[in-house]
Structure 1
Amino acid sequence: MLMKPAVFLDRDGTLIEDVGYLARPDGVRVIPGVPDALRRLAGAGFALVVVSNQSGVGRGLFPLEAVAAVNAEVARRFAAAGVTIDAWHCCPHLPDAGCACRKPGTQLHREAAAALDLDLGASWCIGDRPGDVDAARALGARAILVCTGEGRHHVEAVRAAGVPVAADLPAAVELVLGAETAQRPSQ
């Protein structure tokens, strides 16, 4: 079986509005255009994997079950739009915990790759923070920073490092699909 490429997606600030330590499903606000963008990626053959740092758990602000409930609400809304997320992964630890699962660590990406038979070198990481970009580099994947969420605060540094920047996920998907089309051999 051929390995499949993936798009690893941050949750807060990339797929849904970042409202800070989201612990309740009724606080989910999907960023406009995201379901259609995800549908396009899936239609192009990408696995869709969410990898999210959720330090609110480590800070004692909410239990891991609250993260699962929020993820379930996001998944429900995406399913209503015809989109299925292939895997959901989150790091519940504090930023200074030193774990391998908190982005820019790549443990969760690698677990998803093993479970779903993913080709990391043909994959992308899209998120609104430098940790998403750094994780992509460590994986040998490509990265795009989105300006939704915290992304607008990191544009200069990320661009200086040669990483593409997009206004939002729909614009990032245009970059991904454009790059994939450019890499296909002509017939």
Structure 2
Amino acid sequence: MKLILLDRDGVINQDSPDYIKSPEEWTPLPGSLEAIARLTRAGWQVVVVTNQSGLARGLFDAATLEAIHQRMTQAVESVGGRLRGIYHCPHGPDNGCDCRKPLPGLFHQVARDLDVDLTGVPAVGDSPRDIEAATTAGCRPLLVRTGNGARALAEGRIPQGIPAYEDLAEVVQALLGQCPSSKGGPSKRSQ
């Protein structure tokens, strides 16, 4: 099975320091939906793995999160893509769970549910906690400069050797072997 794990905010859709609290606030990043559709057409299974502490903070409820995810799913499907699953951590930073990134609990849940080994599975994120969770789970972490990625990279908070791409579209080009970065590293324009 060709599997890829994607963070949500900052990778698929625009991030907000005030959280995405309603379906109306969910706005896809340019090219992200089409990138997921390209993966789908190439036979990849796409799974979203996302922290959603806005639930624990009382900024929105489970029904609203479901509506946000329904909007995302419909947007992906409208361009020919498909999401195999959406996994979220509803906890806050002080709840002591193992599913909140940077811990790998959500990744382990995906592995159990899909009965797969995550070793080397690409996992795309825009923050140090995404990269740490992916690394701990045995995935191949990939950073995008969208969302918090460019700032985290500029501040030196991303470990050396982690490939960095402009956006999800460039990651997909690399994975599908259609740009110079197909050998596993970032393209020249994203270094």
TM-score by length of 2: 0.86
State the alpha-carbon separation in 2 of the partners of residues 121 and 144 from structure 1.
Answer: 14
Q: Which has the higher contact order (CA 8 A, sep 6+)?
A: 1
**Larger deviation: 67-76 or 36-45?**
36-45
State the alpha-carbon separation in 1 of the partners of residues 95 and 158 from structure 2.
Answer: 29
Tell me if structure 2 keeps the 8 A contact 1:57–1:92.
yes
Structure 1 segments of 4 or more deviating over 4 A? 179-183
Tell me if structure 2 keeps the 8 A contact 1:8–1:51.
yes
- The count of aligned residue pairs is 180
What is the match of residue 81 of structure 2?
83
Identity %: 36
3-state SS in 1 of match to 2:103: coil
1:24 to 22, 25, 31: 22
State the alpha-carbon separation in 2 of the partners of residues 146 and 181 from structure 1.
Answer: 15
The one-letter code of the counterpart of 1:62 is F
What is the match of residue 4 of structure 2?
7
State the alpha-carbon separation in 2 of the partners of residues 123 and 5 from structure 1.
Answer: 8
Consecutive unaligned residues in structure 2, runs of 5 or more: 185-191
Deviation at 1:58, TM superposition (A): 0.8
What is the match of residue 121 of structure 1?
119
Output the aligned Cα RMSD: 2.0
State the alpha-carbon separation in 2 of the partners of residues 152 and 16 from structure 1.
Answer: 15
Q: 1:66 to 1:172 in 2, by over 3 A?
A: same
State the alpha-carbon separation in 2 of the partners of residues 71 and 139 from structure 1.
Answer: 24
Deviation at 1:45, TM superposition (A): 3.1
State the alpha-carbon separation in 1 of the partners of residues 172 and 26 from structure 2.
Answer: 22
Deviation at 1:124, TM superposition (A): 1.0
Matches for 1:131-146 after TM superposition, within 5 Å: 131-146=129-144
Deviation at 1:5, TM superposition (A): 3.5
What is the match of residue 34 of structure 1?
32
3-state SS in 1 of match to 2:142: strand
